[in-house]
Structure 1
Amino acid sequence: MPLPFLTADGVSDVDDDGDGDEILAHADQDRWRRPYRPGPWRVGIGALLLLLSAFMLLATMIVAFAGGWGGAVICLIAALAVVGSAVQILRIGVWVSPAGLRRVGFFVTRTTAWSEIGELRTVQQPVRWLGLPRTVQGQALTMSAQGGAEAPVLLTDHNADFLSRTEAFDRAADTVGAWADEYRPVAA
C-alpha cells in the first residue's frame, strides 16, 4: 500500500492510478507532514518490534488462560509498551507544516516556527551512524535560529531514514528547504 507524501509545492508523490490513496482537494492542508518516506532501517526496526509484541501478546493470552492474572497484566503492559515504542520509532524524523518545522525524537518533540528559523543548510561533518555513538563523515541538514544560535542537526545521510540512500537525503533536504523558502518570512 503506497503512502502519500507531499513535497514542498503540495504535490503528492503517489501515482494517480485511481486507487483512492491520492490527497484530496478538501484535505486539511495545515496538518504536519513528513516530507520524505521513512527509510528501510526505521521500518525494519518497527516491524521487528511489532513482531516481538505479537509474541508477547500471545504469551499474555497463554498466561491468562493458565490463571496467572498478575503475570498476564504484566505481559500485557510490556507488550503495549513495545507497540508504543514501535509506533514512536516510525514517527521519529522531521515534519513540516505551514506553521513551522517539527523535530520528533523518541522522547522529545520540538517545534520551531518558520519565523524563528534563520538558515537551513547542508554541511559536511561527522554524523552519528544510525543514531549510535559511532560517528562517520557524512552530510547533515542543519538549522540556525534567527539569533544565530545553532540548533541540533535535523537530518543526516547516515540515520535510519537515509543510510545508503544519498539521493533520498538530497531530495529530503531540498524539500525541507523549499518548505522553509515558502513559509519563512522574507527579511526586510
Structure 2
Amino acid sequence: MPLPFLTADRTFEVAAESSLPYDDRDRWRRPYRPGPWRVGGAALVLLLSSFVLFAGVLRALTGSAASAGVVLGFALAILAGALRMLRMGAWVSAHGLRQVSFLVTRTVPWQRVAAVRTAQQPVRWLGLPRTVQGQALTYVRRDRSSQDTTPLLTTHGLDFLNRPAAFDRAADTVEAWAAEYGRG
C-alpha cells in the first residue's frame, strides 16, 4: 500500500501565479519563518522559565504560599516574555503593515504607506546598540517626511543573521503586499 505523504510520487497542485498565495488575506501573517537566533533565544528563556516554575513548586511545598506565588508569577512573566519574543517581527494583512516589538505593536494601514524598499544602511546587530553595514527593509509613511523611514527587517536581526536568501524572500514578499494593497 503506497503512502503518498511519504513519497514524491503524489501530484502537487499548481500554485497560483499571484505573489500573495494566501487564502485569507485579512488574517495577520508573518511573511517569513522566525530565524534560528530568535527560536534559540526563546528556547533558552523557556528553559529558564521551567527552572523558575520548578523552584516555585518547591517553594510551595516547603515554604509559604505567598513566596511561592511570587516565584510562580515571576515564572509566568518569563514565559510571557519568551512568547512575545517569538511574536516579534513584521506582519502583513489586507489591513496594513504591523511591526511587533517586545513592548510595542505598531500598525500602519496600507493607505498610509507611501513606499516599501530595501536600502543599504547601518543596522543594529541582533538588536543590540552596535551597528554594522547591512540591508534593511524600510517603509515610508505618507504623513511623515521621506527621511523618516522605519526599518521593518534587517539582515543582521534575529531572524536573518547569516541568512541573506531568507531576507531577500521576506523583503520581496512584503514589497509584493505593499504593491498589492498600497494603491489606496
Q: TM-score, normalised by structure 2?
A: 0.86
Residue of structure 2 in register with 1:174 after alignment: 172
Question: Could you tell me which residue of structure 2 aligns to residue 163 of structure 1?
Answer: 161
Unaligned stretches of 5+ residues in structure 2 = 1-17
Tell me the SS of whatever aligns to 1:89.
helix
1:1-188 to 2 correspondences below 5 Å: 8-11=19-22, 28-149=24-145, 150-185=148-183
Aligned-residue offset at 1:148: 4.8
> Per-residue displacement from partner, 1:145-181 (whole Å, max 9, x unpaired)?
1245223211100000000001100100000000011
Whole-angstrom distance in 2 between the partners of 1:51 and 1:147: 44
- State the match for 2:13 in structure 1: none
Structure 1 unmatched runs, 5+ = 1-6, 12-24
Look up the equivalent residue of 2:108 and give its one-letter code: T
- In 1, distance between residues paired with 2:137 and 2:154? 6
Is the partner of 2:150 in helix, strand or coil?
Answer: coil
What SS does structure 1 have at the residue aligned with 2:118? strand
Q: What is the CA–CA distance in structure 1 between the aligned matches of 2:127 and 2:56, rounded to whole Å?
A: 32
Output the amino acid matched with 2:92. Answer: V
1:9 is displaced (CA, Å) by 1.3
Report SS of the residue matched to 2:151. Answer: coil
- Which aligned runs of 4 or more in structure 1 are off by greater than 3 angstroms? none
Size of the aligned set, in residue pairs, is: 165
> Residues 28-84 of structure 1, C-alpha deviation per residue, up to 9 Å, x if partnerless?
541100000000000001101111111111111101011321210111011000000
CA contact (8 A) 1:117 1:145 kept: yes
Q: What is the percent sequence identity of the aligned residues?
A: 56
TM-score (norm 1): 0.84
CA spacing shift, 1:144–1:184, aligned 2, 3 Å:
same
Of structures 1 and 2, the larger Rg is shown by 2
